[in-house]
Copies of this chain bind each other. A is one copy, B any other.
């Protein structure tokens, strides 16, 4: 009988790991399903009544005693180029970590950074990105309490990779699976700018536009929201790898609902839309790094939207809602009303997603 890991590997079909396995889409789901969840016994998917591999949310919860729960998140940042219009790998790593905790309903309190550097990187470049990372944490009142620092020989890594761990204290648990039929969906600002900025900066499609990444912490949005409307927020997410398309598909699947959105209502910066058109990519599949998507109770949706506008997020909009599926074939899918009045299924992004976006 073949060993467990060998059987798991064969389920992947591909004999070698491809770029698409890391895109955050379908193929990444297969890796997580077969090579991670399939190998971990279920009782080790979480601690006590916390969450973990069962939910695969932005952050996992650990119960510390009867009353307190902490949220933990981990992400690696390998973005190329490491300094890009609107930010750099340091501000990206700090923002991504802070945002994963915030959309999990937690107040970020501490971070740890594990850094792998390629021999020969300019000392000033390292200092520059670390300074960005640290400033972003400190401006958001997050302590840097530890980390790791390794250097590998030239050619063993491209410049630098930063893995961030974030710890937060849970204010209101926001679980991806808590969305109810009728809940309204709010997006806090224009989507897809980070993904477009990185692709454009690389000149991937032979085209460079002046697009700035939207990378920033969502602290000024999420902390007041959690304090004032904690009870009316059902779920929150930041549409990074795979964009809004990926996030909404996950929500539809995890809740067994169908999600309807109105594409005309989804804010996208003009240059981002132009760039996405030219390269033939759906802006909904492009990453954002400073945007939140919220599922809120329908009764309070308009009131919450006004509050978000007052917080300074002027482009925030209600973009759609979650509904009970009319039939089995509607369960777990995302349907968009297109600007010309038709309907289309918003697919889980796959394959073509480019690597090293974040």
Chain A residues packing against B (C-beta within 8 Å):
3-6, 8-9, 12, 14-23, 28, 31-32, 35-36, 39-41, 44-47, 50-53, 56, 59-60, 62, 64-65, 67-68, 70, 72-76, 78, 80, 109-110, 112-124, 126-128, 130-131, 134, 137-138, 141-153, 155-158, 161, 163, 165, 167, 169, 355-356
Q: Are B151 and A22 closer than 8 Å at their CB atoms?
A: yes
Query: Least Cβ distance of A157 to chain B in Å?
Result: 5
Q: Are A50 and B145 closer than 8 Å at their CB atoms?
A: yes
Q: Are A151 and B17 closer than 8 Å at their CB atoms?
A: yes
A21 surroundings in chain B (CB, below 8 A) = 117, 149, 151
Q: Are B75 and A114 closer than 8 Å at their CB atoms?
A: yes
Given A16-B121, A17-B120, A165-B74, is A31 in contact with B149 using a C-beta cutoff of 8 Å?
A: yes
Given A17-B151, A36-B130, A158-B156, is A146 in contact with B73 using a C-beta cutoff of 8 Å?
A: yes
Task: Report Cα–Cα, A6/B169, bound state, in Å.
Answer: 34
Q: Are A144 and B45 closer than 8 Å at their CB atoms?
A: yes
Q: Are B72 and A112 closer than 8 Å at their CB atoms?
A: yes
A110 surroundings in chain B (CB, below 8 A) = 47, 50, 52, 60, 62, 72
Which of these, B44, B51, B56, B60, contacts A137 with CB under 8 Å?
A: B44
A165 surroundings in chain B (CB, below 8 A) = 72, 74, 112, 165
Q: Are B22 and A150 closer than 8 Å at their CB atoms?
A: yes
Q: Are A9 and B126 closer than 8 Å at their CB atoms?
A: yes
Which residue on chain B has the smallest CB distance to residue A76?
B114
Task: Report Cα–Cα, A77/B137, bound state, in Å.
Answer: 24
Can you sample 9 A-B contacts with CB below 8 Å?
Answer: A4-B131, A9-B124, A15-B122, A15-B123, A16-B122, A21-B149, A39-B131, A65-B67, A72-B146
Query: Least Cβ distance of A353 to chain B in Å?
Result: 11
Task: Report Cα–Cα, A67/B67, bound state, in Å.
Answer: 12
Task: Report Cα–Cα, A131/B3, bound state, in Å.
Answer: 10
Given A5-B127, A72-B165, A156-B158, is A117 in contact with B22 using a C-beta cutoff of 8 Å?
A: yes
Centre residue among A12, A21, A113, A128 by max chain B CB count within 10 A:
A21
Q: Are B356 and A117 closer than 8 Å at their CB atoms?
A: no
Which residue on chain B has the smallest CB distance to residue A354?
B153
Q: Are B60 and A145 closer than 8 Å at their CB atoms?
A: yes
A19 surroundings in chain B (CB, below 8 A) = 119, 151-153
Given A17-B119, A120-B16, A127-B6, is A52 in contact with B146 using a C-beta cutoff of 8 Å?
A: yes
Given A52-B144, A110-B72, A138-B44, is A156 in contact with B356 using a C-beta cutoff of 8 Å?
A: yes
Given A72-B110, A134-B39, A144-B52, is A12 in contact with B152 using a C-beta cutoff of 8 Å?
A: no
Which of these, B47, B119, B145, contacts A143 with CB under 8 Å?
A: B47
Which of these, B32, B123, B131, contacts A149 with CB under 8 Å?
A: B32
Which residue on chain B has the smallest CB distance to residue A39?
B134
